[in-house]
Each structure stands twice: as C-alpha cells, then as structure tokens.
Amino acid sequence: MGLLKIFIEVEKIEKVKKFMMQLVVFVNKIREEIELANEKGYGVLFMGDRNHPEVKGVISFVDDIQIFESFEEIENIKIDINKTYLLSTQTTLNKKV
C-alpha cells in the first residue's frame, strides 16, 4: 500500500472517530435528560428500536418508560393525564414521519 493510500485510510478512520465521539455526546445528553426526568418522577415516552444497543443502554436508566417503534404503536401507550412526560428518541432513528 502506498503512502498516499495510508494517509487516506488514516483520514477516513479519523473522520469515523470524530463522528462516533459526536454521537456519544448526543447519546449522553439524551441519557442525562432521561435520568433527570426519572428523578423528577416523570414518565418517559421513547421512540426507537427496542433491540438497538443505544436504546437498550439509555432505557436502563429509567423506571417508568414506554417505548414505541412506530406511530401505529403510539395507540397502545398508556397516558396518565395527571403525570408529566418526557418525549425522547433514539439518536440514530431513521423513520419517515
């Protein structure tokens, strides 16, 4: 492999690292918001893929969470009108609304 190809590969790796670090910042922000809502006794409504590692990690910090993957599933969510809720989503969610 030539030196130019090595530099190009290193640059690609650095771009991926930068993207991943930015993504971690977003995931941590969501986790912090969910933890704060949980501490305040809020319920959490979370749109995301239940089987995605990000979702599994984030929801592990919450006592009262309802997850939905599609707008059709929203109909099954139980809402207490006397309770406050935080609505959040998976950072890597790719759904058309």
Q: Which residues form the catalytic set? A: 54
- Contact assessment for residue 86 and residue 37, using Cβ atoms and an 8 Å cutoff: yes
What does the alpha-carbon distance between residue 85 and residue 8 come to, in Å, rounded to a whole number? Answer: 47
Instruction: Determine how many CB atoms are found less than 10 A away from the CB of residue 7.
Output: 10
What does the alpha-carbon distance between residue 69 and residue 7 come to, in Å, rounded to a whole number? Answer: 41
